[in-house]
Amino acid sequence: MLVLGNLWRPLTFKLSRLLYITTFCMICAPSWAQQEQLYLRKGPGSSFPVIFEVSSTEQLQPLYLQGEWLLLSNGRRQGWLPVREVPESSGLSRAQLWYLNDALRPGDWHVQGGWNSETALQLGISYPLDRYRLAARYTRSDAGEQAWQSAELGFEHLFSRYSGWSLQGFAGLGLGLNEEGSRRWDEQGRETSTAIFTLSGDVIWPLETRLDLRLRLQASQALGADQSAHTAIALIWNLSL
């Protein structure tokens, strides 16, 4: 019995110690898992060097938003961090995090405006519909013998993306109005209207999260009147709302 007692005491001590360590780890593990290192950079871009590191639980103050990067300060130093990497456990409130992510999320509506090589003003609006975008476009020119306007409804489709730019096409049907004195769709310069079919392609360069610049090559074919065809190059600004 004495031998069993001598063996039982160290065994119970080891078991109690193991139980204590296990309980401690279970309690602390969640907090350890939540603590990650954030690498703040010298400028708003991944090409800038990391200047210091902070814990994801450290209180941080937002100073300035540029594109998808946020300038943060911990009271002693400041550096840039992508908004998507800002943790919920930082000093930013839920409202601030929601605002930042909402500001960087492009909207569904696209509003366009620009000029083409026919000295015409082009306006447009589009909204996603399945794999395409339903788009409405309006064009107007007041240049003397080229006074005309057109309105079209069609679909836009994004064909491909490359590093820094993308390619999009459009096909639509609409109505063109040849104003008095214009010879765009009537050689006699009479006021007339005609159905038109338009194809265009946009080369898109993103400028900001919600803004891009588009070089548009377009061709329209009149389906009535003198059945003339017209081509143009346009520079378009596209804003996501």
137: left (phi over 0), alpha (psi -120 to 50) or beta: beta
pLDDT (tens digit per residue) in 117-134? 998 999 999 999 988 999
Considering only residues 15 and 96, tell me which one the structure prediction assigns the higher pLDDT: 96
Give the pLDDT score at 23.
53
Give phi and psi for 89, each to the nearest 5. Answer: -85, 0
The count of C-alpha atoms lying within 13 angstroms of the C-alpha of 193, restricted to the half-sphere facing its C-beta, is 6
Q: Would you say 41 and 51 are in contact if contact means Cβ atoms under 8 Å apart?
A: yes
CA distance linking residue 232 with residue 132, whole number of Å? 24
Instruction: Specify the CATH class of 37-103 in words.
Output: mainly beta
Distance (Å, rounded) from C-alpha 194 to C-alpha 173?
A: 11
The CA–CA distances, whole Å, from 215 to 49, 96, 169 equal 35, 36, 12
d(CA 80, CA 129): 37
User: What's the whole-number average pLDDT of the chain?
Assistant: 82
* Structure-model confidence comparison of residues 111 and 20, the more confident one: 111
What confidence score (pLDDT) does residue 14 get? 57
Q: In this predicted structure, what is the pLDDT of residue 152?
A: 97
74 has a pLDDT exceeding 80: yes
Predicted pLDDT at 25: 47
Q: How do residues 151-191 score in pLDDT, each as one tens digit?
A: 999 999 998 877 678 999 999 999 999 988 888 898 888 89
CA distances from 17 to 28, 32, 39 (A): 17, 21, 38
Give me the percent of the chain exceeding a pLDDT of 70.
77
| Pairwise CA distance, residues 56 & 88, whole Å | 9
206-235: pLDDT as tens digits:
887 788 999 999 999 999 878 899 999 999
- Dist CA 230 CA 220 (whole Å): 5
Provide the residue ranges of all domains of the chain, joining segments of one domain with +.
Answer: 37-103, 110-240
Whole-model pTM? 0.62
Residue 28 — pLDDT band, cuts 50, 70, 90?
very low
Look at phi and psi of residue 225 and say left if phi exceeds 0, alpha if psi is from -120 to 50, else beta: left
Give how far the C-alpha of residue 41 lies from the chain's centroid of Cα atoms, to the nearest Å.
Answer: 23
Q: Which of 98, 97, 68 is nearest to 80 (CA)?
A: 68
Exposure b/e, 146-161, CB count within 10 A at least 16 = b? bbbbbbbebbbeeeee
CB half-sphere exposure, 188, CA atoms < 13 A: 5
- Which of the following CATH numbers is that of domain 110-240: 2.40.50.1070, 3.40.50.10860, 2.30.30.110, 2.40.160.20? 2.40.160.20
